[in-house]
C-alpha cells in the first residue's frame, strides 16, 4: 500500500483508508470545539452529559455513562460539578429510591442550548467549504455510518 504524507495509508485504488481520514479529522473537530465549550465553562464530558440528558430524566448514572461512552466512575466528578453549578439535579426515583434520576435544570438547558448553538454556527462555517450537494451527502453518509453498531462496522457483511 502506498502512503501519502498528507493522507496516510491508502487502499489499492489510491483512496486513503477511512480511519486515516476520520481519526485526524475527529481530533481536529474536538480540538476546535474545546475553546467554544471553555467559553461556556464546560468540559467535553460535561457537554456530553448535558446533551445526553435531553428533555427527559435519565434513570441512573450507569445508564448515562453507557449513553455517552464513559466509565460510570469517571462521570461522578463531572456530575458533581454540574450539580454544584445548578445545571443538573439528582432526584430519587419514586419507583426505586435506590436509583437517582438525572435531569437538567432550566439553567442547564439554557447553557446546553447556548453551547450547542455556538458549536452549530462553527460547524456551519466549516461545512460551508463543501458544495451544497456534497454537504448533504456527507452528512447523510456520516449519519448512516454513525448509526451502525461496532459489530456492524467490524463485520459489514453481517446482516443487521
Pick the CATH number of 25-125 from 1.10.10.10, 3.40.50.300, 3.40.640.10, 1.10.1740.10: 1.10.10.10
Cα separation, 106 vs 87, in Å, equals 7
- The single-letter DSSP state of residue 41 is T
Structure confidence at residue 1 (pLDDT):
39
Radius of gyration (Cα) for the chain, nearest Å? 19
Q: Residue 74: which pLDDT band, with cuts at 50, 70 and 90?
A: confident
Whether residue 6 has pLDDT greater than 80? no
Q: Which residues neighbour 72 within 8 Å (Cβ) at sequence distance 6 or greater?
A: 61, 62, 64, 65, 66
Distance of CA 45 to the CA centre of its chain: 9
Element (H, E) at 153: helix 150-154
- The pTM assigned to this predicted structure is 0.81
Cα separation, 49 vs 126, in Å, equals 25
pLDDT tens-place string over residues 100-151: 889 999 999 999 999 999 999 999 999 999 999 999 999 999 999 999 988 9
Structure confidence at residue 4 (pLDDT):
42
Q: In 3D, which of 20, 72, 15, 16 has the Cα closest to residue 49?
A: 72
Amino acid at each position: 500500500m502506498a502512503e501519502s504524507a498528507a493522507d496516510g495509508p491508502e487502499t489499492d485504488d489510491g483512496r486513503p483508508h477511512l480511519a486515516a481520514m476520520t481519526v485526524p479529522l475527529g481530533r481536529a473537530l474536538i480540538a476546535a470545539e474545546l475553546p467554544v465549550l471553555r467559553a461556556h465553562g464546560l468540559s467535553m464530558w460535561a457537554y456530553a452529559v448535558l446533551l445526553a440528558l435531553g428533555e427527559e430524566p435519565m434513570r441512573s448514572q450507569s445508564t448515562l455513562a453507557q449513553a455517552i461512552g464513559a466509565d460510570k466512575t469517571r462521570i461522578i466528578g463531572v456530575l458533581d460539578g454540574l450539580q454544584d453549578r445548578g445545571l443538573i439535579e439528582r432526584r430519587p426515583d419514586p419507583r426505586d429510591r435506590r436509583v437517582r434520576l438525572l435531569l437538567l435544570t432550566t439553567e442547564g438547558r439554557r447553557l446546553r442550548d447556548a453551547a450547542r448553538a455556538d458549536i452549530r454556527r462553527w460547524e456551519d462555517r466549516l461545512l460551508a467549504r463543501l458544495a451544497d450537494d456534497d454537504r448533504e451527502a456527507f452528512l447523510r453518509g456520516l449519519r448512516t455510518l454513525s448509526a451502525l453498531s461496532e459489530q456492524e462496522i467490524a463485520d459489514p457483511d453481517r446482516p443487521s
